[in-house]
Structure 1
């Protein structure tokens, strides 16, 4: 195992290569066995013996996607039973399996495994393609080798066997779209800014001019004169495909903290160059130095507001636009926003106190009530039954 693989773990969300494809059959005398695999010997006898009851399972699990993670190996299969009197015991059991690293995300392989298994089922029913003698599996070995190579290199392959053709493609499954709330601020990613406005759908055309990393959802809906539910649905779709990123509202009263990713600013020359260019207040003046940019980020810590940092470091004197610096830091996970959550600790809440549950932060409460953060602050400071949690 490489050093990079050692830091991965089951559930980390990373995708890996298909390490092996094998066909398992149930022999009427020998029982479950691997009759063909590419590359040879990848799945050892110890691994197979540990999982063979799931490779050729009981009838209740036939034609179901099964994923087994054992002994640093993840196996994805689709067991099939073909009933026919031409077979011993009147049935032929097989399972075409993909093998990948134990930490790798495998959900994207499931439709491919199922489709390939159904194709092989059809081939077996027509020509006995799978149940041939072991010495006659050279054709299957070659087929699996081509599938393994094509899917790893191109994520797509075409199989032609006689008059039968099948197309296989690995489609990456994105995580569920984020929940979009009124107080969230969408930021259009730089690679999509050059797309002409007329190329977008109608709702996107109406709201894109107002997406600047400053306006929150409710404000965009008001300024674009678009129903807020439509704006949320549109932004959710754009966020799902990585076109926009959702940020917290930028306020000088906010508290930010740098993350471990801040060190990338000194190691990644492309990131550093992009940062200097983006945060420059005046493009006609020399770009700010790495030392000043890093000093500004490093000053962000618990209990220190953005306003205090600006008063102390005077970023504009160094050609730094502090708002763009914050936006760039949030976009690249160099910093994160520490939000305030008011909590009512009395007995019977009334009015705005019902919102002080610890689940709504200041930005969300401001959007729900239409009040400014300063008004909410005064309300909380004067109420002895309310405390504030920072997280």
Structure 2
């Protein structure tokens, strides 16, 4: 949210002055406007129109009370037609200190470049109020429209005169997502049928048809008849725009354990227990919330999902009759109630050979040996070698006795 926009320029006789501001009185006092200013402009003036060494570049500065951030791009135009042979100005945006400033950088740069070009063309800024300015919008009207449009619509397109238009848009900046692995399982956060159209990339349209929360990336690529690397790129785009999230491949041999956020579920914050019950419900009588808490809290680091199911079935609770186990685990992962305990194989002999440089990581005779450095989980082995946990363990037994250890973390 933009708190204010102002246009400041350096006047040879008066120094740095605010010429226009919106909303009125937000930076400097105005007649008939009784409202508190965002900050004391006099203490910030030297940063608004700085020395020439800092001109023509993007500058940000915080007010002394650290409540607001001023974003500007001071401009200095050198020309003999101006007093002192230069014209210095700055269009600044004021935002809250907690607001991400990155999306606004392009707007500030665009304001500076657009008004610089208009000043060079017809002295739009330096001769404001003169004969040439009668058939064009005033600067005060322009910055007011810019502020309102960017705050309300995240974009603006404002005709200035017959030759110039101010056209800007705020683009959200997302963090770069983590790499997509072939053993990850994408889960959609939106209904793609409502947003996909004919302009979408063909690979993307083929990939999203197979996102069901069950298939891993490798299987999606196979079923969609798409190269694995292209499927990963498509899913990376969806991750960037927060359209999907990635979970681990669900198997009954997996191990899950509660996180500290489990307290929020037990206390039923934000109605989380009912939300879980509705998400995992299959048919018949709905499982009471007490049992949902009991099911979550009996997951632990030393117990696989299969053993966890057997524990409750031995106690008379047939879990399969009440809930979808995969969706139950999935709910816990999405909400941060559970974390996955992965399995890793570590071969002391292989690590010793790597440390001494006697073996190349990619040139090993045994296909599984390169996975025994403690950096590759069993999920990765399963996805890349197309073998299950039982086969992996049987294969590792062929290694020298006592050489390989299975680590859970």
> Are 1:116 and 2:100 matched, yes or no?
no
Deviation at 1:188, TM superposition (A): 2.7
Q: Distance in 2 between the 1:258 and 1:323 partners?
A: 16
Residue of structure 1 equivalent to 2:359 = none
Q: Distance in 2 between the 1:103 and 1:378 partners?
A: 55
Q: Deviations over 1:151-184 (max 9, x none)?
A: 1122123333343332322121233244211111
TM-score, normalised with respect to structure 2: 0.76
> Are 1:147 and 2:146 matched, yes or no?
yes
Q: Which structure 2 residue ranges, 5 or more long, are not aligned? A: 28-36, 355-363
Deviation at 1:322, TM superposition (A): 0.9
Q: Distance in 2 between the 1:111 and 1:76 partners?
A: 11
Q: Which structure 1 residue ranges, 5 or more long, are not aligned? A: 1-16
8 Å CA contact retained: 1:77, 1:98: yes
8 Å CA contact retained: 2:265, 2:293: no
Residue of structure 1 equivalent to 2:184 = 184
Instruction: Decide which of 72, 75, 82 is 2:77's aligned counterpart.
Output: 82
Residue of structure 1 equivalent to 2:301 = 302
Instruction: Decide which of 371, 375, 389 is 1:373's aligned counterpart.
Output: 389
SS at match of 2:376: coil
TM-score, normalised with respect to structure 1: 0.79
Residue of structure 1 equivalent to 2:270 = 268
SS at match of 1:358: strand
Aligned residues: 367
Deviation at 1:219, TM superposition (A): 2.3
Residue of structure 1 equivalent to 2:96 = 101
8 Å CA contact retained: 2:55, 2:76: yes
> Are 1:19 and 2:3 matched, yes or no?
yes
SS at match of 1:89: helix
Q: Distance in 2 between the 1:187 and 1:225 partners?
A: 20
Structure exhibiting the larger radius of gyration computed from Cα positions: 2
8 Å CA contact retained: 2:274, 2:289: no
8 Å CA contact retained: 1:178, 1:240: no
Q: How does 1:119-130 map to 2 (within 5 A)?
A: 119-130=114-125
> Are 1:277 and 2:275 matched, yes or no?
no
Residue of structure 2 equivalent to 1:5 = none
C-alpha change, 1:165 and 1:190, in structure 2 (3 Å) is closer
SS at match of 2:375: coil
Instruction: Decide which of 372, 375, 378 is 1:359's aligned counterpart.
Output: 375
Deviation at 1:128, TM superposition (A): 4.0
Deviation at 1:247, TM superposition (A): 1.0
> Are 1:28 and 2:21 matched, yes or no?
no
8 Å CA contact retained: 1:310, 1:322: no
8 Å CA contact retained: 2:345, 2:405: yes
Residue of structure 2 equivalent to 1:384 = 402
Q: Deviations over 1:327-361 (max 9, x none)?
A: 23323434332323444444115533332333322
Q: Deviations over 1:225-251 (max 9, x none)?
A: 432223222222333333332111112
8 Å CA contact retained: 1:279, 1:322: yes
